[in-house]
């Protein structure tokens, strides 16, 4: 009897519990659900500001400005509808799209839905004043990227966009999540970890009208860290203005340290368009045959033409195949086997300095044949070609330096003397980037050192220059450097030099021109040099796609140097 009574007692308790759960979940379930939705916690994001990007003198290249987002509290359907219709009138915007944005962004009843981003202050004030009649509308201020100079240094800076699947896969373990805004290209991508902000959260309790009840918790936002670059804003502006609408790039670098003073690539793009989500402009950037998103300074690969002759001259001096007094006679062409290889002019008897000054192809055909293709290949590698410079920007190309072994293994073809002759004047399969040419020219400005180009000078006011600077000896004799440098000076100083247009400037310039024949269109145009000649402070490389001739690049270099001198930047 006693066991039976205990069993009845336990069963009664379970029956009461079951009845209670039935009453809560079935009979009064809808009532309690509505109460829960009407008196709940709201999580309001408090946005932080992304770190600024500054020039070498602390001037703001890219900053932040205050923008406003419109959020809608997911209360009952009537209040949501009223809020969306009010927004469609004030903004103005299509009601259907607003409703679609609300439905797509809805996560839970406790989280406001962001339906419109980046409205101006005037509209934000109007909506804030109407909040009494439309309590579901919340105006949330937050900082967004500001581009005071529009497209200036766009390839160096990069742009911001919503994180894609590829980046999310790689960066998920570092706190990145879906819908995060991250850097794409340039400094924005390379230093995203430092620049990105950490958003805060305000947790509040509201009643069924959406009115504030109390603060439950608060996590403050954290601004991103500022990144200071080696760029000089004034020099960058000069280089961009001079290059204008021409397709190509301009690089100015400190040959002693590797600091990039200016880097221009054209055509460019407007980074602000990715913030504003400008209609068809963004798809046009990706589909354009002009490749405006390509940073030609570090990612464009081209034959170097005659600027490569400094490598051949150095290799020939180092190996003893020639000396500064070695001469060859240029009659306008020479035969390699049964094929005639032409020079662009008839130069007569040429020694090394004269051959560099006049860019005599015949001299370098014959010098290249004395050297052999393998020696040219090996010395090209000593000057840093065929591999990235390791500049602190993403997507740098390494270029390509051919060799007889590569030809045999990859194409199953023999290497001929004609290939060596083409190789010696920077044509054929040889491909380089403008930043590689800039670094190679710096070897003659800094007396034999291969520097690592870099852009980031400081992060959060902490100088990182010492960790950025990396130097490698090119392994050239002082006599070799001096001889080639004298030839580079003659390019400008001699009236018949190919760069004589650069004579008469406030500073002495040394350098090398290059005109590269291409299968279609006009030739590519190069000029790479340094100044002042005796105590070099800058290396400059001007490259023009289909620019016609190296003379055109020289004219642009002259304009840049003149303007720098005028503004006391040299």
Helix (H/G/I), strand (E/B), else coil: 511:
strand
Q: Output the CA angle 295-298-300, nearest 5 degrees.
A: 70
Q: What are residue 345's phi and psi, to 5 degrees?
A: -155, 175
Distance of alpha carbon 296 from alpha carbon 248, whole angstroms: 7
For residues 153 and 231, the answer to whether their CB atoms sit within 8 Å is yes
Distance of alpha carbon 153 from alpha carbon 60, whole angstroms: 12
pLDDT in tens, the chain (570 residues): 566 666 666 777 777 776 666 665 666 666 555 545 545 666 666 678 899 999 999 999 999 988 888 888 776 677 777 778 888 878 888 888 888 888 877 766 666 788 888 788 888 888 878 777 777 787 878 888 999 999 999 999 999 999 988 888 888 888 888 888 899 999 999 999 999 988 776 666 666 555 556 656 767 778 899 999 999 999 999 999 999 999 999 999 999 999 999 999 999 999 999 987 766 788 889 999 999 999 999 999 999 999 999 999 999 999 999 999 999 999 999 999 999 999 999 999 999 999 999 999 999 999 999 999 999 999 999 999 999 999 999 999 999 999 999 999 999 999 999 999 999 999 999 999 999 999 999 999 999 999 999 999 999 999 999 999 999 999 999 999 999 999 999 999 999 999 999 999 999 999 999 999 988 889 999 999 999 999 999 999 999 999 999 999 999 999 999 999 999 999
Distance of alpha carbon 206 from alpha carbon 200, whole angstroms: 19
Helix (H/G/I), strand (E/B), else coil: 152:
coil
Q: Where are the beta strands (DSSP E) in 234-326?
A: 248-253, 260-266
Q: Checking DSSP bridges between strand 524-531 and strand 510-516, what pairing results, if any?
A: antiparallel
For residues 505 and 529, the answer to whether their CB atoms sit within 8 Å is no
Distance of alpha carbon 189 from alpha carbon 182, whole angstroms: 7
> Which residue bears the tokens 């008469």?
504
Close Cβ partners of 13 (under 8 Å, ≥ 6 residues apart)? none
Closest CA to 439 of 493, 382, 478: 382
Show the domains of the chain with their CATH numbers: 42-229 (3.90.1310.10), 233-566 (3.40.710.10)
Distance of alpha carbon 46 from alpha carbon 297, whole angstroms: 39
Put the strands of the sheet holding 248-253 in their side by side order: 260-266, 248-253, 538-544, 524-531, 510-516
The pLDDT of residue 332 is 96
Q: Which helix (H) or strand (E) holds 53?
A: strand 53-54
The pLDDT of residue 16 is 73
- pTM of the entire predicted model: 0.86
**Number of other CB atoms surrounding residue 289 within 10 Å:** 5
């Amino acid at each position: 009897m006693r066991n039976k009574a205990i069993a009845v007692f336990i069963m009664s308790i379970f029956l009461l519990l079951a009845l209670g759960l039935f009453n809560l979940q079935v009979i009064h379930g809808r009532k309690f659900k509505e109460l829960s939705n009407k008196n709940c916690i709201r999580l309001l994001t408090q946005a932080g500001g992304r770190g600024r990007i500054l020039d070498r003198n602390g001037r703001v290249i890219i900053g932040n400005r205050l923008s406003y987002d419109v959020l809608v509290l997911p209360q009952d359907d009537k209040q949501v509808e009223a809020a969306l219709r009010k927004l469609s009138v004030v903004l103005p915007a299509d009601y259907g799209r607003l409703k679609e944005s609300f439905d797509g962004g809805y996560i839970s009843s406790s989280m406001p839905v962001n339906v419109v981003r980046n409205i101006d202050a005037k509209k934000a004030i109007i909506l804030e004043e109407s909040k009494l009649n439309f309590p579901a509308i919340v105006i949330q201020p937050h900082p967004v990227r500001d581009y005071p100079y529009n497209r200036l240094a766009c390839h160096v800076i990069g742009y911001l966009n919503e994180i894609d699947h590829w980046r999310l896969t790689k960066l998920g373990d570092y706190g990145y999540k879906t819908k995060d805004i991250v850097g794409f290209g340039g400094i924005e991508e390379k230093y995203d970890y430092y620049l990105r902000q950490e958003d805060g959260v305000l947790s509040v309790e509201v009643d069924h009208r959406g009115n504030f009840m109390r603060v439950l918790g608060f996590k403050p936002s954290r601004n991103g860290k500022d990144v200071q670059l080696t760029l000089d804003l004034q020099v960058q502006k000069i280089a961009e203005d001079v290059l204008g609408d021409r397709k190509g790039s301009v690089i100015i670098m400190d040959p002693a340290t590797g600091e990039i003073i200016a880097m221009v690539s054209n055509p460019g793009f407007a980074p602000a368009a990715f913030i504003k989500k400008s209609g068809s402009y963004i798809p046009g950037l990706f589909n354009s045959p002009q490749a405006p998103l390509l940073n030609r300074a570090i990612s464009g690969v081209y034959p170097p033409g005659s600027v490569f002759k400094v490598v051949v001259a150095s290799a020939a001096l180092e190996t003893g195949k020639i000396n500064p007094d070695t001469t060859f006679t240029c009659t306008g062409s020479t035969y390699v086997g049964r094929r005639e290889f032409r020079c662009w002019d008839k130069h007569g008897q040429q020694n090394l300095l004269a051959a560099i000054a006049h860019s005599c192809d015949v001299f370098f055909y014959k010098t290249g044949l004395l050297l052999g293709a393998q020696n040219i290949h090996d010395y090209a590698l000593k000057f840093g070609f065929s591999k990235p410079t390791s500049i602190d920007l993403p997507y740098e190309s390494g270029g390509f330096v051919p060799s007889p072994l590569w030809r045999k293994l990859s194409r199953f073809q023999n290497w001929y003397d004609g290939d060596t002759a083409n190789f010696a004047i920077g044509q054929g399969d040889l491909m380089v980037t403008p930043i590689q040419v800039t670094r190679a020219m710096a070897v003659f400005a800094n007396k034999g050192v291969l520097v690592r180009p870099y852009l980031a000078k400081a992060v959060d006011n902490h100088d990182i220059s010492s960790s950025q600077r990396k130097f490698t000896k090119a392994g050239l004799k002082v006599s070799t450097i001096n001889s080639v440098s004298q030839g580079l000076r003659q390019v400008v100083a001699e009236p018949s030099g190919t760069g004589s247009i650069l004579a008469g400037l406030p500073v002495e310039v040394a350098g090398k021109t290059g005109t590269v024949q291409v299968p279609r269109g006009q030739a590519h145009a190069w000029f790479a040099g340094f100044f002042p000649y005796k105590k070099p402070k800058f290396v400059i490389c001007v490259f023009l796609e289909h620019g016609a001739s190296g003379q055109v690049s020289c004219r642009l270099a002259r304009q840049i140097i003149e303007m720098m001198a005028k503004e006391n930047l040299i």
